[in-house]
Amino acid sequence: MAKQHKTIGTGITAREVVTYDREDMPAAFAEFASQWNANWKEGGGNYGAVSLNIIKKCHRFVANSVRPYETDSPADFAERILRYHRIAQAAIKRGDADTAARFTFEVGLLAAQAIMKQVWERHALRGKKNLEAVQSGSRKSNQQRQQDRRNEHQRWNAKAAPIWKRSPNLSKPRVAALVKCQLGLSEKTDTIARRLKKPGMAR
């Protein structure tokens, strides 16, 4: 079990890596060093080496796309990455570390945004749409429940009105008890009484 493929990280940052141990390690290190040296030479230094693959991809996107680019399309991201990459390289050549650091940061940030948009955006938007649908359904359900309760309270008052008309001196609890009995309600008498409004009087 000298060479292994395994996944590290969680969620959207989970990624597959290759690990080596024992007899495969020297060959793996030699291969890595050879590739790094080739990238370093082609890219013109450490930054050029680590950014080489993404810069090549950006050149391909731009070469295979027609202007004007749609905002935040792969070609649009590629063009912006290449622009900042050129500025960073120029700053490195003249020894301007602060400007170089700023624009290499911009290159990395844009590259991460481009990958996130291409790989995860459709999933995120679908999840957002599903969440909004659930929330909308919940709001409608709550509104319907509230309306049902208002309708029920109106029904109680409609039953209480003739009782008070016949016996205007009856208290709310007494009328509530009669309403409960006549309608076969399961609610407590106190609950019903709180929702009754005697005609011509405040609740």
Same domain, 73 and 116: yes
Q: Domain for residue 71, yes or no?
A: yes
Same domain, 43 and 110: yes
Same domain, 47 and 99: yes
Same domain, 44 and 109: yes
Q: Domain for residue 136, yes or no?
A: no
Show the domain range for 180.
149-203
Same domain, 117 and 160: no
Q: Domain for residue 191, yes or no?
A: yes
Helix (H, G, I), strand (E, B) or coil at 120: helix
Instruction: List pLDDT tens digits, range 156-181.
Output: 999 999 999 999 999 999 999 999 99
Structural domains counted in the chain: 2
Instruction: List pLDDT tens digits, range 61-90.
Output: 999 999 999 999 999 999 999 999 999 999
Same domain, 114 and 155: no
- Kindly report the length of the chain: 203
What number is the average pLDDT over the span 143-161?
95
Query: Which alpha helices (H) appear in 44-96, and where do they start and end?
Result: 46-63, 74-93
pLDDT confidence of residue 203: 47
> Cα-Cα-Cα-Cα dihedral of 24, 25, 29, 32, to 10°?
50
* Distance, CA of 17 to CA of 111 (rounded, Å): 20
Instruction: List pLDDT tens digits, range 20-67.
Output: 877 788 888 888 899 999 999 999 999 999 999 999 999 999 999 999
Residues in Cβ contact with 179 at an 8 Å cutoff, skipping those fewer than 6 apart: 156, 159, 160, 163, 185, 192, 196
Same domain, 116 and 162: no
What proportion of the chain, given as a percentage, has pLDDT over 90? Answer: 79
Confidence (pTM): 0.64
